[in-house]
Chain A
Amino acid sequence: AQKVTQAQTEISVVEKEDVTLDCVYETRDTTYYLFWYKQPPSGELVFLIRRNSFDEQNEISGRYSWNFQKSTSSFNFTITASQVVDSAVYFCALSDTGRRALTFGSGTRLQVQP
């Protein structure tokens, strides 16, 4: 069975600090996909990134970067120089052949203080 764990329930940082959101997953498949979503106060989930299990290269998009490590079953998300607009709940999710829908973690609420 699939499982996604986001151990950090809530993180509070001051603007311009770097912050890393942790995500640990469990799956029996060798082929799987990992995702990150952002849920701002408006409630709609916004897709951020998808990575497949064969691509362990880190990815950077502006102030966002993702670190995928198969050895530790982790897919962590770092925001560099955080801004108030980054305040949201962030969800990590997993998709594998055993299930047609995404399995989500419980989310991490990030609060960026000015």
Chain B
Amino acid sequence: SQTIHQWPATLVQPVGSPLSLECTVEGTSNPNLYWYRQAAGRGLQLLFYSVGIGQISSEVPQNLSASRPQDRQFILSSKKLLLSDSGFYLCAWSDFRPNTEAFFGQGTRLTVV
């Protein structure tokens, strides 16, 4: 069966520090991968999605970047964190076929201080 791992679960980082969140999927090949952010008390905002190695689409301009160095690995990064980067970050995967459900990791709660 497929599983998705996301870490760390919580993170407190000072303003201006770098960020690296990692997500890996097991039990499937060529998945679509996604990074969402959920601000406190709000819905999910799509940040990035990827349909293959090295293929990254950005939904909104921001202080973050994403990379997909391997088929089942998706990394969210920042060179210098801002206070506004605080939030709950969720990685997700879906089958490569369109319009299939996405399955989510357990999320990373990031607090920038």
Could you say which of A18-26, A60-68, A79-87, A101-109 contacts chain B? Answer: A101-109
Render A40-60 as a binary contact track against B, CB cut-off 8 A, 1 for contact: 001111110010100000000
- Total contacts A-B at CB 8 Å: 55
Residues of A within 8 A of B100 (CB): 50
Q: Is the CB of A45 within 8 A of B90?
A: yes
A111 in contact (CB, < 8 A): no
Taken together as a complex, chains A and B put the C-alpha atoms of A17 and B88 apart, in Å, by 31
Interface of B is mostly: strand
Contact-residue size bin, chain B (C-beta under 8 Å from the other chain): 20 to 34
Q: Is the CB of A100 within 8 A of B98?
A: yes
Q: How far is the CB of B99 from chain A (nearest CB, A)?
A: 4
Taken together as a complex, chains A and B put the C-alpha atoms of A70 and B40 apart, in Å, by 32
Q: Is the CB of B104 within 8 A of A106?
A: no
Q: Is the CB of B43 within 8 A of A107?
A: yes
Across the interface, B109 reaches (CB within 8 A) one of A43, A97, A101, namely A43
Q: Is the CB of B101 within 8 A of A44?
A: no
Q: Is the CB of A95 within 8 A of B98?
A: yes
Taken together as a complex, chains A and B put the C-alpha atoms of A95 and B34 apart, in Å, by 14
Residues of A within 8 A of B92 (CB): 45
Q: Is the CB of A101 within 8 A of B99?
A: no
User: Of all chain B residues, which has the CB nearest A100?
Assistant: B49
Residues of A within 8 A of B113 (CB): none
Q: How far is the CB of B9 from chain A (nearest CB, A)?
A: 9
Residues of B within 8 A of A96 (CB): 99
Q: Is the CB of B43 within 8 A of A43?
A: no
Q: How far is the CB of B11 from chain A (nearest CB, A)?
A: 14
* Residues 5-40 of B at the A interface (beta carbon under 8 Å): 32, 34, 36
Across the interface, A101 reaches (CB within 8 A) one of B46, B88, B103, B107, namely B46
Render B87-113 as a binary contact track against A, CB cut-off 8 A, 1 for contact: 010101000001111111111010000
Taken together as a complex, chains A and B put the C-alpha atoms of A101 and B32 apart, in Å, by 9
Q: Is the CB of A43 within 8 A of B88?
A: yes
